[in-house]
Structure 1
């Protein structure tokens, strides 16, 4: 039986915060939420208070008292959003207009990729893969 990891939702983060304030263990928090202890451990490791010396690049919150559910949720949404790269083919970009013009000329995707490589050598942001 395989299980996929799902991040905690706002209500679950609130329960984690309340139980942490009552000095409950990670295992008791996990059993109250019906989650694996590793999920709670991961959440606390990512979002629990960090000293200024231990502050990481992703901006873990530095708050007195340990875990703040609101800040943890905000940080999780930001990290999830930043994890995806921006698209090359955006309808406001230069590449979009070029690809569209070549499609209107009935060029195949392979031909479009080859023409873009010829027109813009060394500029990967103005090239597209035929796939």
Structure 2
């Protein structure tokens, strides 16, 4: 084989491997735990799919039946190489799915007395 045919093939291979996100399962779980307010081990991650720009979409199911759809941006191999490893992964962004058990946030306590101001009244908290 000639060097001329190997170099373009190696360049294409390097570019293709640089498109996948580099975050591992542990990093994904840590960011998800922070986003949904649960500890690692209290939920499972499924339906993980990656888009071209490093976006990772996935579903989360908690032990008590709450369901979330989440995404985050993971650094691709190419981005990591170009920034000398200094580009971080994003935080996870999760949305509670309507109708899932236990996913609704707790209601904020209502303020009373002198703590109730115009902003709290407008928000319906007193």
TM-score (normalised: structure 2): 0.28
> Considering only CA atoms, is the larger Rg found in Structure 1 or Structure 2?
1
Q: Which has the higher contact order (CA 8 A, sep 6+)?
A: 2
Greater strand content: 2
TM-score (normalised: structure 1): 0.27
Greater helix content: 1
